[in-house]
Amino acid sequence: MEKHQLQPRGRLLPESMARSWHQSCGGSYEYMIVLDTQHHQHYLQSKTYSILQKDNMAHSIHHQSTGITAYAVFEPDAVLKGHMLIKADAPVLAQFKESPNRLLLTVAGPDIGQARWNHNMSHMPDSITNAWAKGKVITLTVKGEWYATQHISSLVSSAVRNGNTIISVFCKDGESIDLPLQHRGESTNGEE
């Protein structure tokens, strides 16, 4: 793959706060948004993340220095390449922050559950545009055996099957839900 110079793009915030760069190669693209752009040259000179997957099923990256792996899953039950997320039964945004024997899983369901309208969007009925968002349970399969370290009201269920953890979370309104997890075999006070 041929490398191209990252090109600055339009700004939504003052330049001192955020700036984005876009790289286009062979019909695909990637972009990054850097906050506090007074120090952006470091990020442009060497990529601080690795791409795990970039296709029509999902996009995922891993940021080595922070231990964060992030996923944008587009297709239900897609084959996911990479690190922690094995499968999701619906489109989902998921982020994993790893530390020894701990995992912070953040989940958001991007679909607000509006009724489908296959006609002109400018003539969508008020019964659709003004309807309340519907929540949805999204089930994720996470690599390894994990358990929740605290009660989270949106956590519907969690079970270990075949060495992996199946987590079901109630998602609504695109809200991010943080699920602190601990590896099985480790207790919260450090004892096995």
Q: Residue 101's pLDDT is what? A: 87
Q: Residue 191's pLDDT is what? A: 42
Could you list the residue range(s) of the whole structural domain that residue 133 is in? 49-183
Instruction: Please indicate, yes or no, whether residues 146 and 164 belong to a single structural domain of this protein.
Output: yes
**Which of 46-50, 141-145, 186-190 shows the lowest per-residue confidence on average (mean pLDDT)?**
186-190
**CATH number, domain at 141?**
2.60.220.10
Assigned domain for 190 exists = no
Total domains in the chain come to 2
* Direct distance between the N- and C-terminal alpha carbons of the chain, in angstroms, rounded to an integer: 47
Instruction: Please indicate, yes or no, whether residues 152 and 87 belong to a single structural domain of this protein.
Output: yes
Which position has the higher pLDDT, 130 or 173?
A: 173
- Whether 14 shows a pLDDT value over 90: the answer reads no
Could you report the per-residue pLDDT of 60-112, keeping only the tens digit for each?
Answer: 999 888 889 999 999 999 889 877 999 999 999 999 999 888 999 999 999 87
Assigned domain for 101 exists = yes
Q: CB 64: neighbour CB atoms within 10 A?
A: 10
- Is 97 in contact with 67 (CB distance < 8 Å)? yes
> Which helix H or strand E contains 167, and what residues bound it?
strand 164-171
Instruction: Please indicate, yes or no, whether residues 69 and 3 belong to a single structural domain of this protein.
Output: no
Question: What are the E-state strand segments in 48-91?
Answer: 49-54, 58-63, 68-73, 85-88
Instruction: Please indicate, yes or no, whether residues 163 and 92 belong to a single structural domain of this protein.
Output: yes
Instruction: Please indicate, yes or no, whether residues 42 and 53 belong to a single structural domain of this protein.
Output: no
- Whether 13 shows a pLDDT value over 50: the answer reads no
Q: Residue 20's pLDDT is what? A: 53
How is residue 121 annotated by DSSP? G
Assigned domain for 168 exists = yes
Assigned domain for 188 exists = no
